[in-house]
């Protein structure tokens, strides 16, 4: 089963929270932790790969916190998930980073299925930006 871990789910929530709440000023991690009900220590760990991937940046000091590096419309969900989870692959044999994993690849009857699953999931994740998710949230809130 293709499973996005807590790391991926919480990391996406944190980045989406940044997208909603940054107004040019850094957003303190404690604020994100409170709003998202995620421990601040865990969020600190999630920010490391997000910084490495160029999705967020940190600002030190009393008025410090985190900012998105790009506008929400330029950050795709797939980028965030890959930064936190690694390659999107339902099985190791279709992991783009390790194509030599399986020696049955050339004659495996199921590999094409796993490639299609991988490509379909990646296509969905890569079709949504943080801005798209914000719009979805706004529409859901208007219906309530």
Per residue in 65-91, pLDDT tens? 999 999 999 999 999 999 999 988 888
Architecture of domain 6-143: Orthogonal Bundle (1.10)
Distance from chain centroid for Cα 87 = 12
Region 48-66: mean pLDDT is 94
Model confidence at 36: pLDDT above 90: yes
List the one residue out of 43, 53, 45 whose CA is nearest residue 18: 43
* Contact yes or no for 60/80 (Cβ under 8 A): no
* Contact yes or no for 74/126 (Cβ under 8 A): no
Q: How far apart are CA 132 and CA 30, in angstroms?
A: 25
| Domains in the chain: boundaries | 6-143
* Contact yes or no for 88/81 (Cβ under 8 A): yes
Q: What is the pLDDT of residues 109-122, one digit of tens each?
A: 888 888 899 999 99
Model confidence at 99: pLDDT above 70: no
Helix (H) or strand (E) holding 47: helix 40-52
Q: What is the pLDDT of residue 143?
A: 73
């Amino acid at each position: 089963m293709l499973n996005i871990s807590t790391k991926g789910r919480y990391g996406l929530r944190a980045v989406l929270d940044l997208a909603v709440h940054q107004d040019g000023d850094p957003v303190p991690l404690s604020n994100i932790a409170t709003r998202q009900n995620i421990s601040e220590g865990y969020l600190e760990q999630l920010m490391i790969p997000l910084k490495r991937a160029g999705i967020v940046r940190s600002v030190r000091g009393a008025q410090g916190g985190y900012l998105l590096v790009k506008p929400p419309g330029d950050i795709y969900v797939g980028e965030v998930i890959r930064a936190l989870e690694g390659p999107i692959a339902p099985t190791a044999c279709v992991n783009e980073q390790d194509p030599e994993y399986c020696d049955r690849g050339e004659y495996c009857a199921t590999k094409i299925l796993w490639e299609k699953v991988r490509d379909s999931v990646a296509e969905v994740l890569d079709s949504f930006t943080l801005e798209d998710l914000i719009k979805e949230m706004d529409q859901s809130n208007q219906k309530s």
